Structure 1
Amino acid sequence: MRIRRLLPLVCLLHLIPVIIAQDAPSNLVVAHFMVGNTYPYTVDDWTQDFQLAASKGIDAFALNIGRDPWEPDRIADAFKAMAMIMAQPNSPLLPTPSFRLFLSFDMSSLPCGSPSDADTIRSLIRAYAVHPAYLLFQGRPVLSTFGGEYCNFGTGSLDAGWASVIRNGVLNGVGGPMGGKEVVFLPAFFIDPGVVGGLAADGAFSWNSAWPMGNYPIDAQDTDAMYLGNLTGKIYMAGVSPWFFTHYGPSTYNKNWIYRSEDHLLSRRFQALITNRARIPIAQIITWNDYGESHYIGPVKGAQPGSQAWVDGFDHQGWLDMIQHYIYAFKYGVYPTIEKDRLFIWGRLFPASADAPSDPIGRPDHHDWAMDRFEILLHLTAPADLSISCGPSNTGGSFPAGISKLSLDVSQNAMTAIDSCQVTTLLMRNGQTVINYVPAGMQWKRQVEGGKGYNFNAFVGASPA
């Protein structure tokens, strides 16, 4: 792995204010959607999520389906909602008329050891890949997975097993324009990229490309290059994510760790994908609603997977607004004009060293990778001056029009006598206040409150749109 020099703390991106109208993008941005968190969903809930995602430029949801017996009913509701929307000419419910859905089989949940397991998955493909709302790429239905590298469906090998699922005329006899076509299979197998390139799949989805896999920033690893170098012209779908923290004990999912999520992970990852967009046709946002791993960008709704302790009160929709700019640039190859001054800020509310003695699970693995700071991203229509503070910690400066990034280091706060501080921001231009934003709830505290557990989730704020 090649290690690159870290970027300076303040990274300025000068953008050309150009918007080019196009009928269809050359690249796609999709979002991973956990069907397992939708038990109480109605058709209206699906419609609301489709509308919100489409309004930000997202092209499709990858519907992660597992083994819960009620999940096929929620999948049916999702496609019913799309059918209702598509039945209305020029529907105002969907700002992006081409918004679509596709199936992503969660092989950490679904069984895959027998031919009957293959039949179960094939039946879902046959039921939905022919639907008008199903995502097509290069004229064929898209299928993906989370995992599945250990599956053989009773055939004795990985390649033959998945061929029994997605080949052998899986769409023969279904009728309609998709009848008899092959699917585009882009699995997220957690194996060497060199092995993936030799499989019968049409390409690959690199789930772990979304985060640094060690104590370094995202652009110090070459995951994309490894995949592109081994796929030999096949389709590559890359991951992009804002954060990672999960906190389950042995009695539930038994996973308790973080990935390094500072260093402006989300924006830097998107910038790398935009730079390489000619070779990366699809970017998948991880995720819309995986609350258990803290990387959700949609509203907190549905049924949480026992993650309330670190999710309740931590809305992440500011990230959704922030990435709309990058989504457009990845899809069309140009950055859109910034039409309104905005400020986005996020970070943890406690020091990484803070103790939570009543938490039976303990500190997450890699907690020492976390940095005690708030990340700030500016959208400016013209040059302006920013000041930001939390107790004795402060930073700021003069910034040009476009996108600028900086960080507020609060590591020294834990060494002072203060117990807490409120984050405040002030943006000035020509002596006039442009933004005076005090994010409600963004209260840094030196100690974890009594009775509460470790929470390395990000608190996200965004000045009004």
Structure 2
Amino acid sequence: MSREDWAFDLAMAKAAKIDGFAMNIAAGDPNTDAVLAAAYSAAEAVGDFKMFLSFDYLSMGAWGIDQVINKINQYKSSPAQFRYDSKPLVSTFEGVSNIGDWSGIKSATGCFFIPDWSSLGPAGFASHLDTADGAFSWDAWPEGAEDKTTEADEQWTNMLSGKPFMMPVSPWFYTNMPNWHKNWLWRGDNLWHDRWQQVIRLQPAMVQILTWNDFGESSYIGPIHQGSVPEGAEYVVDMPHEAWLKFLPHYIDTYKAGSSTTFPFNSLVASPEEGITFWYKRNPGKSGDNGGTTGNNPAQGQPALAPELVSQDIIFVCALVAEPSDVIVSIGGAGTSLRATHSGINHFSVTLDGRTGVVDFKIQRNEREIISATGPEITNSCKNGLVNWNAFVGSS
């Protein structure tokens, strides 16, 4: 990504009320220095947008102590550096074999250290509270044909005994990248809306969205730049996700207000507009070859399930309304009528029941159409005969 690409993305994220980016960086990646320079420079220019370094210990091996110290010290004085408790915040992706490095790193940098050591679990992490200043968990998706609960988040919070917890939120997960030996999905479905309700209820110190631009794992909420899709990830082409940003300011404002489990229409966000956000798979689960994809990741010890049991054939809809309204979802001309009962965001799911075709959405009030939107057709005709388990996300 060029500096201009970064400026575009940062402006989009800031407009959605995201406060900053966690910069996941791998040891030995020759692009890291150029990327960090461009990204931090763009953040400084856009203003009031923060960055912090997250050292990835898995994708290209472990980081050396001096490498970590030098990177932190290089950027910690940037006006764009995110600080917590007046210290530059630093995180990781795993790195449990290098926990002993961090006492010296913290002394040499003065950083506030919130690692992701999710593989330890809360019980294993508890013995390292003298090193870590808080914890970040990568546990953002449910296992199997279940919806995500807050059980793990509560375990992390209780284990930390008052130290800050960075809670993960993600909308989706599907990856099929043979070169990385990755081919599984976890349930997304209602996750984006449900997870924000959980955030609002639990009130963690921080929230990290997974992710802005991990296209290979279908968890992205940012724009797809030319050339940014990994080789082999055809399931990302023509499958935008940035409409998930549309109502994000409402979720974020409600979380930061800390006083409500609803999403009011006009009390938090300036100049709200009624609208619709929707997402769904364009191929029903049994419309083609599943591509060898499993529900769950057996490499993590999870039981492999048929992917269609995990990723349901359902259309997911959020409607933001000023007052109670009717929401009409039509698939191939066959409609389903729903009732938005309250002002704010109302969330629905509509089962396909074998229907295919173009998907139309309407908000009606007093028999008058207020908002409409159209999504691409749901089809049993799969590209290359393979079901695309990624989501199409659109909005009015």
TM, length-normalised to structure 2: 0.89
Amino acid at match of 1:184: F
Greater shift, 387-396 or 340-349, is seen at 387-396
Q: Give deviations 1:383-440, integer Å, cap 9, x for gaps.
A: 2112112137542233232221111101433xxxxxx41111222111211123222x
1:281 matched to 2:182: no
Q: Does residue 135 in structure 1 map to residue 69 in structure 2?
A: no
Q: Identify the residue that residue 337 of structure 1 maps to in structure 2.
A: 265
Q: Which of residues 377, 398, 411 in structure 1 aligns to 2:339? A: 398
Could you list the per-position Cα deviations for residues 194-250 of structure 1 after superposition, in whole angstroms to 9, with x for gaps in the alignment? 221221111110111x2112321112x50111101211221100000100100112x
Alpha-carbon distance, 1:287 to partner: 0.6
Q: Is the 8 A contact 2:281 2:392 kept in 1?
A: yes
Aligned to 1:272: 198
The CA deviation at 1:130 is 1.9
8 Å CA contact 1:362–1:454 kept in 2: the answer is no
Instruction: Determine the structure 2 residue equivalent to 1:453.
Output: 386
Task: Kindly report which structure 2 residues correspond to 1:37-186, keeping only aligned pairs within 5 A, or say none.
Answer: 41-66=1-26, 67-83=28-44, 85=45, 94=46, 97-112=47-62, 117-149=64-96, 151-152=97-98, 158=99, 160-164=100-104, 166-167=105-106, 169-171=107-109, 182-186=110-114
The alpha-carbon distance between structure 1 residues 138 and 307, as it changes in their structure 2 partners (threshold 3 A), is farther
Alignment-derived partner of residue 30 in structure 1? none
**What runs of 5+ residues in structure 1 fail to find an aligned partner?**
1-40, 86-93, 153-157, 172-181, 414-419
Higher helix share: 2
- What letter corresponds to residue 448 of structure 1 in structure 2? C
Distance (whole Å) between structure 2 residues aligned to residue 291 and residue 446 of structure 1: 24
SS of 2:354's partner is: helix
Counterparts of residues 136-285 of structure 1 (less than 5 Å): 136-149=83-96, 151-152=97-98, 158=99, 160-164=100-104, 166-167=105-106, 169-171=107-109, 182-189=110-117, 190-199=119-128, 200-208=131-139, 210-219=140-149, 221-249=150-178, 252-262=179-189, 264-277=190-203, 280-285=204-209
1:273 and 1:447 mapped to 2: Cα distance?
A: 38
Post-superposition offset of 1:322: 2.2
Give the percent of matched residue pairs that are identical in Structure 1 and Structure 2.
31
Q: 2:214 aligns with which of 277, 290, 293?
A: 290
Instruction: Kindly name which structure, 1 or 2, has the bigger radius of gyration based on alpha carbons.
Output: 1
Other-structure match for 2:269: none
1:352 to 266, 285, 292: 285
Structure 1 residue 307: deviation in Å? 4.9
Distance 1:206 1:100 in 2: 20
Maintained 8 Å contact 2:288/2:380: no
Higher relative contact order (CA 8 A, sep 6+): 1
Deviation at 1:135, TM superposition (A): 0.2
**In 2: Cα distance, 1:231 partner to 1:198 partner:** 11
Report the Cα distance in structure 2 between the residues aligned to 1:253 and 1:101, rounded to whole angstroms.
28
**1:398 to 1:363, Cα distance in 2 relative to 1, 3 A:** same
Residue identity matched to 2:71? L
Provide the rounded CA distance (Å) in 1 between the counterparts of 2:31 and 2:222. Answer: 22
Unaligned runs of 5+ in 2: 267-271, 296-304
Q: TM-score, normalised by structure 1?
A: 0.76
CA distance in 2, matches of 1:202, 1:51: 30
2:246 is matched with which residue? 321
Go from structure 1 to structure 2 and tell me whether the alpha carbon gap of 1:285 and 1:232 turns closer, same or farther (over 3 Å shift): same
**RMSD of the TM alignment (CA)?**
1.9
Question: By how many angstroms is 1:58 displaced?
Answer: 0.6
Is the 2:200–2:258 contact (alpha carbons within 8 Å) kept by the matching residues of 1? yes
2:319 corresponds to 1:378: yes
In the aligned structure 2, how far is the partner of 1:386 from the partner of 1:207?
35
Distance 2:61 2:234 in 1: 30
